[in-house]
Amino acid sequence: MKRRIYYHDTDCGGVVYYANYLKYMEEARTEFFEQRGILIQELSDNGTLFVVARQEIDYKAPAFYADILEVTSLLEGTSAVKMEFSHEVKNQKGQLICRGKAVLVCVDGTIRPKPIPEEIRSKL
């Protein structure tokens, strides 16, 4: 996923605010799902949600106002109820900005863990 950095993404020095990378990774995961025909809103409407149970991030270099970032999301593994993703964010020059990992847990409408439905698993 490519994403342009706007003024509202930055701090007063024109550097991307550190917590915004979590949003960019979330957006890239949504794109990952949609590219596989998995629509998050449709799942939610049917009582299947994915919540972030763990997130980690390592910052390597700053990104700046007007940069074009490429955010990649790779599914590293699954279990009965969770998915593990890795992420990389690079700028338009190919420089690594940060790496991250996220663990998502499948839950029902009451936020209790539930197995990942087979129709989702088969598309991953």
Encode pLDDT of 78-117 as tens digits.
Answer: 999 999 999 999 999 999 999 999 999 999 989 999 999 9
Domain that holds residue 78: 2-121
Sign for the pseudo-dihedral over CA of 86, 92, 93, 95: negative
> Residue 96: what pLDDT?
98
Question: Active-site positions?
Answer: 11
Distance in angstroms (rounded) separating the CA atoms of residues 111 and 48: 9
The whole-number average pLDDT for the span 24-43 is 96
Sequence-distant (6+) residues with CB within 8 A of 37 are: 123
Distance in angstroms (rounded) separating the CA atoms of residues 79 and 110: 20
CATH (domain of 72): 3.10.129.10
Q: If you average pLDDT over every residue of the chain, what do you get?
A: 96
The whole-number average pLDDT for the span 7-30 is 96
Nearest-Å Rg of the Cα atoms of the chain is 16
Strands 68-78 and 96-107 come out as unpaired
Domain count, the chain: 1
